[in-house]
Amino acid sequence: MMKKNFSLLPFLFAFMLAFSITVFAGDSEEGFKPNPNATEADFDEWIYQGLKIDPPYDKATPVPKEFINSVGTMAAVSGTINKSTTVYYGPSSTYVSRETLAQGKAVSVIEKEGSYYLIEYSVAGGNVRGYVLTTSVDGNFSSVPVANNNINQFGLNISGSTATIYGGPSTSSYVSIGSVSKREIITVLKNDGSSWYHVEYWTSNGNKRGYIQTSNVSVPWLIYKYNKPITTGTRTNDYGSHSGIDIGVSSGTTVYAITSGTAKFRTAYKEVTLSDGTKKRYAVSYGNFVELTFGSNKAIYAHLSSFMSGYTAPNYPNTVPPSGADSSTRYLEHGSISVNQGTYLGGTGNSGYSTGPHLHFEIREGSTVVDPFKYVLFAKMPW
Ligand SMILES: [Zn+2]
């Protein structure tokens, strides 16, 4: 063991050095190179050795440059609002509306997206940017570029504090329009200046677009390695308040293997013997669940309603078992199979101790429950 640990040290050091260079490369155009040295086997071995590999694995990294459109010169063509019109926080009326601009209001038109212009105008306290229908602005906008946003990239404020969203790329000349919380997922549309991202984020009233300082946005390194367990839903309960993350979704929503490994299909239940001698089973705890083992780690997908083809999830009632039932939980073992990353594992549900359809997703390193956000990102997850 000792020998092995020592042999790992130079490797670990080299990796940390490479990581530091990556992080501090700043505006280098070399692009992001996640994990230039380590392999799946290295990672598993480090975990197995019990090494606390906080740098770099627990650290978030800046959003990779290759996923964000390069800085472009935006137009600032003067125009005039030609009729009372609503400003939205995005290029459609499905976004949160900001206010109504009166006829005659002077604006700058920055770019065109669909049937909307991104405009900038003055408000109390500074300037703000928003979207109005192209038909509501008078001016000569032939030179205004069409938006070229990359809306595929997640960003994640993982710094542990609230970050302010501004109405434009400056803290001094634009007003604040909202905020995002720790680990809230936002979409980075564009790098709109050396230290600003143009982003879209969720609010309870709809989506908004605004600007955030790049230092507030980062992604966990490990998302390059592991996929999302689910592609939709809203986070309803977070790690820290319990052993995993709950994602509210309708029953039957597909869940996927976050990485290759061995999927084991199980049901937690308690049994009671009725007065006529027959036995009745009640789903308890995780109900129907999948344990995906990868290396010495395990991902748990709980409260499922169905399993992948070949494995049948029972439909036991999930009410509290009556008195006389087993005092400890039993497990029905349905079998296991090797799966690849992205393999369909089953459908979400409400089995076991669950008060509504949701996915409980949990990660264990050995026997230690850890924050799943260390490994994966979820679908759009407010708060
Ligand atoms: Zn849960």
Task: Write out 298-360 in H/E/C secondary structure.
Answer: EEEEEEEEEECCCCCCCCCCCCCCCCCCCCCCEEEEEEEEEECCCCEEEEEECCCCCCCCEEE
Q: Given pLDDT bands bounded at 50, 70 and 90, which one contains residue 89?
A: very high
Nearest by Cα to 338 from 257, 264, 262, 266:
262
pLDDT at 41: 46
Q: 305 C-alpha to center of ligand 1: Å?
A: 15
- 233 CA to middle of ligand 1, Å? 14
pLDDT at residue 235 is higher than 90: no
Query: What is the 56 CA–ligand 1 centroid distance (Å)?
Result: 28
Residues 77-95, mean pLDDT to the nearest whole number: 97
Q: What is the pLDDT of residues 116-155, one digit of tens each?
A: 999 999 999 999 999 999 999 999 999 998 887 765 455 5
Name residues with Cβ closer than 5 Å to ligand 1, which is an ion.
244, 246, 360
Looking at residue 345, what is its pLDDT?
A: 98
- Ligand 1 centre to CA of 172 (Å) is 42
pLDDT more than 70, % of the chain? 73
| Mean pLDDT across 171-186 | 87
pTM for this model (two decimals): 0.60
CATH 3.30.360.10 fits 226-374, yes or no: no
Whole-Å CA distances, 333 to 262, 289, 353: 14, 10, 18
Domain ranges of the chain: 2-58, 61-221, 226-374
**Cα(31) to centroid(ligand 1), Å:** 37
